[in-house]
Structures are given as C-alpha cells and as structure tokens.
C-alpha cells in the first residue's frame, strides 16, 4: 500500500492501521470532568480499555436483569409438626420396632437443605447415619448444618428412644406433601 | 401434579449471611428478630422491605424462642432485654 499524500509514513504502520486512524493525529490530554479513559496509544492501554469496556457492558446487562427479578411471594406460612416414636403396641407388620415414627421428616431430593438444631431441655444429638449427619442439639444455641440428598430414600436412626426418620422424595411429591400438611394444620 | 399447585408454593429459606458464617446461628436468628422490630417501629408493619427480616427470623428461629413463650411476650411486657432503640 502506498499513499502519495503520506509518503513519509512507513508501509508497516499503514498496513496495520486503517486509513481513518492515520488521517487524524491523536493528541490526547486530560480534560475537566473527564469520565472515560484517554485515547489509547499502545497495545497495553488498548487491552486495558477493552477489558474495562467489556466488564462494564456485561455488568450493566446483569444488573438490569437482576432488577427485573421480582419477588411476588406474599403469603408466609410455617409448618410445624412433632415426630414421636411409634409405640411397639401400635406397630403394623413389617415396621421396625423403636425405629418408626408417626410423622416423618419429608424433604426434597437434589436440593440443598438447611438443618438447624436446638434443644428444648437437655443436650441431644441429631444424627442420621446414612446421610453422614450428626450434629449436637444444645439448648439456647442454634447449630446449623446442611445436607444434599441425591436419591429418594428413607433413612432413620434409633438414638435413646428418639428415632428420626428422614424421607427424601421428588420435588413434586414434596410439594403435595406440603399442601397436604398445610391443609390439615389446625391454624 | 398440576402447574397451578406447583405455583402455589415458593419454598424458600434465608440465604447465607457473611456476618454469621459459623455453625452457631443463634445470633443470626436474634439479629433478624431485632432488626424486624426496629424496622416496623420506624416504617410500620405494612412496609414491605421489613418482611425480609421477618422471613429471615421465621426461617431461623425456633418457634419456642419467638412466638410460643419468649420474645414476643417479653416485648408486650416491656421486659425484652434486647436494645430496640432506633
């Protein structure tokens, strides 16, 4: 490439830059109340400006999207229930003595579940061997742990005549259990 | 199960709070209870953002601590030791 008007400029520079950028000379200096960068004049500064522009672009897109997410939940409802061991005299054939409870703790699978334990009277322990879960339950203190159950299952533990039965079910079954419980609750 | 039934529920709990990263969540529960009381004292019970604190302490606190016997009753009696000044 060769331009008669710009005979003094080397062909290397001309091949790299477009005609437009050669025709004006950048003589940049800070201005009062300047917001952006000054025009870049080296590959390093070009990279910095490029990074800055990309980050801001995606940042703004994400922030706008987040602001659109609206919380429409209005009804707050809690579910309380007791779970006691089924007495031996009430057992059905096939049920495990000292292990069955009247109300199982039903939880959804493939979901992170927060478990908070505390004690009402003395120190207890919440333990479910097949989940690898064992956490102290102390009066006046809330101990937190979490679990993630990967398949539908039934697991329980016998611990000083206080069995725990955890029933992990699919989300749909969990929701129907929830609605059943709420419909049946005395509140 | 129908979609309408699924839409009925929005099963939620409060998220992680960097102020309370430990196993012991007692203060997490208590702080949200106090913040809710302060919030409704200033903005009124109908102010929607206060519900954030409400949901948090409802998720974290044992009902024994809050409604059944303790904190709510103490508030009514004026014997709740928490600093609720705003």
Q: What is the pTM of this model?
A: 0.61
Please give the full DSSP string across A62-85, using - where no structure is assigned: HHHHHHH----------------B
In degrees and rounded to multiples of 5, residue A146 shows phi and psi of -140, 160
Q: Spell out the domain ranges in chain B.
A: 24-76
In chain A, % of residues over pLDDT 70: 74
Alpha carbon of A143: minimum distance to chain B alpha carbons (Å): 5
Chain A residues with CB-CB distance to B13 below 8 A: 114
Mutate to test the interface with B, among A82, A116, A138 (most CBs of B within 10 A): A116
In Å, what is the CA distance from A82 to each residue of A98, A109, A159, A173, B62?
16, 22, 17, 20, 13
Pick from A69, A142, A147, A182 the residue to mutate for testing the B interface (most B CBs within 10 Å): A142
Q: How far apart are CA A185 and CA B17, in angstroms?
A: 31
Looking at per-residue pLDDT, the higher value among B59 and A88 belongs to B59
pLDDT digits (tens, 9 = 90+) for A22-81: 556 666 777 888 888 888 888 999 999 999 999 999 999 988 887 665 444 455 677 778
Query: B55 to chain A: nearest residue by CA?
Result: A76
pLDDT at residue number A91: 81
Q: B60, B25 in Cβ contact below 8 A?
A: yes
Among chain B residues, the shortest Cα distance to A175 is held by B6
A98 pLDDT above the threshold of 90: no
Higher pLDDT residue, B22 or A83?
Answer: B22
Cβ within 8 Å, pair B58-A143: no
Contacting B residues, span 39-78, partner chain A, CB-CB under 8 Å: 51, 54-55, 58-64
| Arch. (CATH architecture) of B24-76 | Orthogonal Bundle (1.10)
ipTM of the complex: 0.75
**Gap from B86 CA to chain A (nearest CA, Å):** 26
Q: Which domains does chain A have, with CATH numbers?
A: 4-68 (no CATH), 88-184 (2.60.40.420)
Q: Which residues of A touch B62 (CB under 8 A)?
A: 116, 118, 142
- N-term to C-term CA, chain B: 47
Chain A positions touching B26 (Cβ under 8 A) are: 140-142
């Amino acid at each position: 490439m060769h331009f008669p008007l710009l005979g003094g400029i080397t062909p290397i520079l001309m091949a790299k830059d477009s005609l437009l950028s050669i025709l004006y000379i950048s003589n940049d200096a800070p201005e009062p109340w300047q917001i952006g960068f000054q025009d870049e004049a080296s590959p390093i500064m070009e990279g910095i400006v490029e990074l800055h522009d990309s980050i801001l672009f995606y940042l703004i897109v994400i922030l706008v999207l987040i602001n659109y997410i609206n919380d429409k939940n209005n009804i707050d409802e809690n579910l309380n229930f007791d779970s006691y061991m089924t007495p031996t005299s009430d057992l059905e054939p096939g049920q495990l003595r000292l292990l069955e409870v009247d109300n199982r703790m039903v939880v959804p699978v493939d979901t992170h579940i927060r478990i908070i334990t505390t004690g009402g009277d003395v120190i207890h322990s919440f333990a479910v061997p097949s989940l690898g879960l064992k956490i102290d339950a102390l009066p006046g203190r809330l101990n937190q742990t979490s679990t993630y159950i990967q398949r539908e299952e039934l697991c329980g533990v016998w611990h000083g005549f206080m069995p725990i039965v955890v029933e992990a079910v699919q989300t749909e079954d969990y929701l129907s259990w929830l609605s059943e419980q709420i419909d049946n609750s005395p509140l | 199960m129908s979609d309408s039934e699924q839409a009925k529920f929005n099963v939620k709990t409060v998220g992680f709070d960097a102020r309370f990263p430990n196993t012991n969540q007692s203060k997490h529960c208590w702080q949200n209870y106090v913040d809710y009381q302060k919030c409704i004292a200033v903005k009124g019970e109908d102010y929607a953002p206060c519900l954030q604190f409400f949901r948090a302490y409802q998720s974290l606190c044992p009902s024994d601590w809050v409604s059944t016997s303790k904190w709510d009753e103490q508030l009514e009696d004026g014997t709740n030791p928490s600093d609720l000044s705003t």
